[in-house]
Amino acid sequence: MTQTTGGAESDTRRDTGGHTADGGVTLEGLSAGYDGTPVLTDVSAQLPRGAVTAIVGPNGAGKSTLLGAIAGVVRTTAGTVRLPSAVRPALVVQQSRVPERLPITVRDAVRMGRWAHRGPWRRLRREDHERVAEALTRLGIADLADRRLSALSGGQRQRALVAQGLVQDSPVLLLDEPVAGLDVTAQETIADALREAADNGTATVHVTHDLAAAEDADHCLLLSGGALVGQGTPREVLTDSAVDLAWGLGRRRRASRPER
Ligand X SMILES: Nc1ncnc2c1ncn2[C@@H]1O[C@H](COP(=O)(O)OP(=O)(O)OP(=O)(O)O)[C@@H](O)[C@H]1O
Which residues here bind ligand X, judged by CB under 6 A?
Answer: 34, 37, 39, 57, 59-65
- Nearest residue (CB) to ligand X, 160 versus 221: 221
- Nearest residue (CB) to ligand X, 165 versus 171: 165
Least distance to ligand X from the beta carbon of 167, Å? 25
3-class state of residue 191 by DSSP: helix
Cα(226)–Cα(109) distance, integer angstroms? 32
Least distance to ligand X from the beta carbon of 37, Å? 6
Residue 107: closest CA among 180, 52, 164, 53: 164
Least distance to ligand X from the beta carbon of 57, Å? 5
- Nearest residue (CB) to ligand X, 24 versus 57: 57
Report the sign of the C-alpha dihedral through residues 127, 129, 130, 134, in that order. positive
- Nearest residue (CB) to ligand X, 105 versus 208: 208
- Nearest residue (CB) to ligand X, 155 versus 225: 225
Cβ neighbours of 210 (radius 10 Å): 15
Least distance to ligand X from the beta carbon of 71, Å? 13
For 189, residues 6+ apart whose C-beta sits below 8 A from its C-beta are 138, 139, 140, 159
Least distance to ligand X from the beta carbon of 192, Å? 24
- Nearest residue (CB) to ligand X, 94 versus 105: 94
Angle, helices 154-166/126-138, rounded to nearest 10 degrees: 140
Question: What pairs with residue 203 in β-bridges?
Answer: 51, 172
Least distance to ligand X from the beta carbon of 73, Å? 10
Cα(241)–Cα(127) distance, integer angstroms? 49
Q: Which residue spans within the chain are E strands per DSSP?
A: 25-34, 37-47, 51-56, 76-82, 90-92, 172-176, 203-207, 219-224, 227-232
